[in-house]
């Protein structure tokens, strides 16, 4: 298992080690350009058109760069899972003296590690962006960095402030739990769908697997929306309901969502394990 | 002790196709055995079940006295009919990979075999021709000091000179006491190295088994001639 994990991690590393620093530097550059753009606009009229255009483009496309980075790593993870298990490479993978469960666990761990590392780089890139904007931009201008700082201050204050403000802290914890549970469940569901595709058909396995995944995702999202609508209608129907009760209900909804996503993830993992152990045949 | 023993082995693909039907077989150690039969008779399926690539529908399999599992892959060195190595890895990286996963992998032997085949260990696998990739794969398999070698069509698709070389490589690099199971249609080419033959018909049914010398003594024919007699189309 440890050997497998080492090889799985090494497979993504050559791409990650190049793209991650590039994303970080581009983020800092984007922040600098935005800051300079405001400074230019503020102090050096008439405005340099080309400079403003560059600043605008980098500012506009910076979120796309972050998304593209996350997408790239996700695609690499999916491709590695698919190629190692369901193409001719499977002849090497499944004849190793390693159990199928260990092979699956290694792929999941590898994916989680790289996703966490990618999320960390995205977060650091956000800070680099904010820091550069803050560093260069004039004090009186609107700043994403100062907005983030203010928000953080508010959160910290709320945690240690009045009793009712503790709700905010709990909401943040619940949101974090929900976010992590959803990310892990999505990954496990994606792996499961690719396995189902590979077990059902001999050709276009990945296409079918991704189709099943997006179909399942659509069903989940629709179910969530229906749940939210029912909740809103129910709240609207209740004539006398206190603010405290609404807050408690929201806590329950957030926590339950996290628990449901976790259950979805566990279910997807167990089913995937069963399929790989009992149904997967390499043609 | 048998190195491979199967009882009531069945493999069904989907609901209709029965690739192997109730196969009972025992293979002894230290033999080079030809698994011979027409296309689609279940030879590859049998090998894939032994290595764990296919999940059997029913039956019991023991390998070197142990119930088949991922652990028994330590005893088996398998050469599939298709090439599974590729990508931007170097040949040397593949040798490292095998050394890491298989304790019986002899890296020195592998480097010697690469040298004799004029293959540069620093070459990227993606830059190799199909034939050279097959040779690298054969080296990876034969550099292991395994108890069982499963070779599925090891000489298919190569020229006669290369066939001779491959067979020589197989025989000269065998772990002493190991069992080799060769599945092939090129019977004439492999016949000189075979100790034993097993004729397999559709559904994995064994319809003939013996040694090359017995066949020559009793019937005065080669394995190839016997095969043509047994599997003659009506």
Question: Distance between CA atoms of B157 and A75, rounded to whole angstroms?
Answer: 35
Contacts of A91 in chain B (CB under 8 A): 53, 78, 80, 82, 84
| Chain B CA closest to residue A103 | B70
Per-residue pLDDT of chain A (283 residues; tens, 9 = 90+): 788 888 888 889 999 999 999 999 888 888 887 777 665 555 455 556 666 677 677 777 888 888 999 999 999 999 999 999 998 889 999 999 999 999 999 999 999 999 999 999 999 998 888 888 778 776 655 555 566 666 666 665 655 555 556 677 788 888 889 999 999 999 999 999 999 998 888 788 888 999 999 999 999 889 888 988 887 787 777 667 776 777 777 788 888 889 999 999 999 999 999 999 988 888 7
Flag if A94 and B82 touch (Cβ within 8 Å).
Answer: no
| Chain A CA closest to residue B54 | A281
Question: Distance of CA B138 to CAs A35, A63, B13, B77, Å?
Answer: 61, 49, 29, 10
**Residue B69 at interface with chain A, using a CB cutoff of 8 Å:** yes
Question: Distance of CA A62 to CAs A51, A89, A129, B209, Å?
Answer: 16, 37, 9, 70
Give tens-digit pLDDT for A90-147. Answer: 999 999 999 999 999 999 999 999 999 999 999 999 888 888 877 877 665 555 556 6
In 3-state terms, what secondary structure has residue A261? helix
Contacts of A96 in chain B (CB under 8 A): 70, 73, 101
Give tens-digit pLDDT for B119-159. Answer: 899 999 988 888 888 889 989 998 999 999 999 988 876 77
**Residue B15 at interface with chain A, using a CB cutoff of 8 Å:** no
Residue A251 and residue A236 in contact, taking contact as beta carbons nearer than 8 Å: no
Structure token digits, residue A59 = 């500012």
Contacts of B53 in chain A (CB under 8 A): 90-91, 94-95, 281-282
Question: Distance between CA atoms of B156 and A248, rounded to whole angstroms?
Answer: 71
Question: Distance of CA B48 to CAs A57, A90, A95, B10, B198, Å?
Answer: 55, 12, 9, 13, 17
Question: Distance between CA atoms of A279 and A263, rounded to whole angstroms?
Answer: 23
Flag if A90 and B86 touch (Cβ within 8 Å).
Answer: no
Q: Which of A5, A82, A92, A93 is the best residue to mutate to test the B interface, defined by the most B CB atoms within 10 Å of its own CB?
A: A92
The DSSP element (H or E) to which A141 belongs, if any, is none
User: CB atoms < 10 A from the CB of A158, how many?
Assistant: 17
Contacts of A280 in chain B (CB under 8 A): 55
Flag if B55 and A280 touch (Cβ within 8 Å).
Answer: yes
Burial B221-231 (b: 16+ CB within 10 A, else e): ebbbbbbeeee
> Three-state secondary structure along A193-223?
HHHHHHHHCCCCHHHHHHHHHHHHHHHHHHH
Whether the CA torsion A156, A157, A162, A168 is positive or negative: it is negative
Question: Distance of CA A68 to CAs A204, B45, B61, B169, Å?
Answer: 25, 43, 49, 49
ipTM of the complex: 0.87
Question: Distance between CA atoms of B47 and B44, rounded to whole angstroms?
Answer: 5
Residue A254 and residue A178 in contact, taking contact as beta carbons nearer than 8 Å: yes
Contacts of B71 in chain A (CB under 8 A): 97
**Residue B102 at interface with chain A, using a CB cutoff of 8 Å:** yes
Shortest CA distance to A131 belongs to which of A35, A26, A19? A35
| Chain A CA closest to residue B12 | A281
Residue B72 and residue B64 in contact, taking contact as beta carbons nearer than 8 Å: yes
Residue A158 and residue A168 in contact, taking contact as beta carbons nearer than 8 Å: yes
Q: For residue B154, is it left (φ>0), alpha (ψ between -120 and 50) or beta? A: alpha
Question: Distance between CA atoms of B25 and B27, rounded to whole angstroms?
Answer: 7
Flag if B55 and A279 touch (Cβ within 8 Å).
Answer: yes
Contacts of B73 in chain A (CB under 8 A): 95-97
CA distance B37 to chain A (A): 19
Contacts of B74 in chain A (CB under 8 A): 97
Flag if A92 and B76 touch (Cβ within 8 Å).
Answer: no
CA distance B85 to chain A (A): 7
Residue whose pair of structure tokens reads 């974090």 in the numeric block: A176
Flag if B53 and A95 touch (Cβ within 8 Å).
Answer: yes
- DSSP conformation class of B39: T
């Amino acid at each position: 298992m440890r050997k497998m994990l080492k090889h799985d991690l090494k497979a993504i590393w050559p791409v990650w080690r190049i793209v991650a620093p590039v994303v970080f530097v581009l983020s800092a550059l984007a922040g600098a350009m935005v800051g300079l753009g405001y400074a230019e606009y503020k102090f050096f009229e008439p405005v340099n058109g080309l400079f403003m255009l560059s600043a605008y483009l980098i500012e506009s496309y910076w979120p796309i760069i972050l998304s593209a980075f996350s997408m790239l790593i996700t695609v690499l993870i999916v491709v590695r899972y698919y190629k190692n298990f369901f193409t001719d490479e499977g002849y090497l993978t499944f004849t190793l003296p390693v159990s199928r469960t260990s092979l699956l666990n290694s792929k999941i761990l590898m994916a989680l590690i790289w996703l966490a590392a990618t999320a960390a780089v995205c977060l650091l890139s956000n800070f680099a962006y904010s820091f550069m904007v803050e560093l260069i931009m004039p004090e009186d201008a609107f700043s994403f960095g100062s907005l983030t700082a203010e928000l953080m201050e508010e959160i910290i204050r709320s945690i240690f402030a009045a009793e009712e403000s503790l709700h905010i802290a709990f909401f943040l914890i619940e949101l974090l739990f929900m976010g992590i549970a959803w990310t892990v469940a999505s990954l496990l569901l994606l792996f499961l769908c690719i396995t189902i595709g590979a077990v059902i058909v001999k050709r276009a396995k990945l296409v079918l697997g991704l189709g099943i995944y997006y179909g399942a995702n659509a069903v989940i999202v629709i179910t969530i929306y229906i749940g939210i609508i029912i909740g809103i209608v129910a709240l609207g129907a209740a004539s006398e309901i206190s603010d405290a009760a609404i807050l408690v209900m929201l806590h329950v909804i957030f926590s339950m969502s996290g628990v449901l996503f976790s259950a979805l993830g566990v279910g997807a993992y167990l089913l995937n394990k069963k399929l790989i152990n009992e149904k997967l045949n390499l043609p | 002790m048998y190195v491979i023993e199967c009882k009531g082995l069945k493999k069904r693909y989907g609901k209709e196709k029965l690739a192997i039907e109730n196969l009972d077989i025992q293979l002894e150690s230290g033999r080079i055995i030809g698994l011979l039969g027409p296309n689609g008779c279940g030879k590859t399926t049998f090998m894939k079940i032994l290595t764990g690539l296919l999940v059997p529908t029913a039956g019991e399999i023991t390998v070197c006295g142990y119930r088949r599992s991922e652990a028994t892959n330590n005893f088996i060195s398998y050469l599939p009919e298709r090439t599974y190595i590729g990508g931007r890895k170097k040949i040397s990286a593949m040798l490292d990979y095998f050394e890491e996963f298989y304790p019986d992998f002899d890296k020195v032997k592998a480097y010697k075999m690469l040298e004799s085949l004029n293959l540069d260990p620093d070459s990227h696998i993606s830059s190799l021709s199909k034939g050279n990739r097959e040779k690298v794969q054969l080296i990876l398999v034969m550099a292991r000091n395994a108890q069982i070698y499963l070779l599925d069509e090891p000489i298919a698709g190569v020229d006669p000179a290369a066939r001779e070389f491959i067979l020589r490589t197989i025989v000269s690099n065998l772990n002493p006491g190991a069992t080799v199971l060769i599945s092939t249609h090129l019977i004439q080419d492999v016949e000189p190295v075979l100790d034993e033959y097993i004729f397999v018909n559709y559904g994995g049914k064994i319809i003939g088994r013996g040694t090359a010398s017995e066949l020559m003594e009793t019937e005065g024919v080669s394995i190839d001639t016997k095969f043509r007699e047994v599997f003659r189309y009506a």
